[in-house]
Chain A
């Protein structure tokens, strides 16, 4: 069965520091992987996705993630945090080959201090 584990429910960084949010997945089928962000009082928004092809994926707002099959990981990074990056981040994997659902991790709350 497919599953997603996000290590660290809360990550705190200083403005300008590297952001690293960890995601490991388990999938019995070739995975399609996603990162979504949820700002307070807003709906989830897609940051980036991996489907096929290049394993380093670039998304919006300077975020990127690398698909590492051998490590079953899809960690999210940003070289320099900004105050506006404070939000909750969810990693997700396709639930099945039919593509009818995503399985989300429990989320990581990112805090950015000045």
Chain B
């Protein structure tokens, strides 16, 4: 596809379940970002990949959150033992540039996670 694709678009999990959210960036994009957007809030940074290297994971809220991009394209955000406060929209963005300065981030439509 032409844009950033995220799946699933909607996920309902019971508290304590593990979830995996997938991001297909625009082909050839070097940078990939994950953001968490709670209801009524702006996106909050989680982690950044440059190709397969995770260069910044300072935004991951706990060790229950894990992200990978093993071949420098598709990325997966995994949340273990989900809790109600994890309920949010998880946004993925990609960029052809290796930093945020130079150009825009292309965002997917997000994966909405609801933890019951």
Q: Is A98 at the interface (CB under 8 A from chain B)?
A: yes
Contact-size category for B: 20 to 34
Query: Are B109 and A42 in contact (CB-based, < 8 A)?
Result: yes
Contact A51 B56 (CB under 8 A): no
Interface residue SS majority, chain B: loop
The CA-CA distance from A104 to B41 in the complex, in Å, is 9
B115 close to chain A: CB less than 8 A: no
Taking CB as reference atom, which chain B residue is nearest A104?
Answer: B42
B44 near A104: Cβ-Cβ < 8 Å: yes
Could you mark each residue 93-116 of chain B with 1 if its beta carbon is under 8 Å from any beta carbon of chain A, else 0? Answer: 100000111101111111000000
Chain A window 46-82, contacts with chain B (Cβ cutoff 8 Å), 1 for yes, 0 for no: 1001010000000000000000000000000000000
Contacts of A44 in B (CB 8 A): 43, 91, 93, 105, 107
Q: What 1/0 flags go to B51-73 for Cβ under 8 Å of A?
A: 00001101100000000000000
User: How many A residues, CB 8 Å from partner?
Assistant: 27
Query: Is A100 a contact partner of B99 (Cβ separation < 8 A)?
Result: yes
Pair A90/B43 contact, Cβ less than 8 Å: yes
CB distance from B90 to the nearest CB of A (A): 12
Given contacts A100-B99, A102-B105, contact A43 B33 (CB under 8 A): no
Give residues 91-107 of A contacting B (CB, 8 Å): 92, 94-95, 98-107
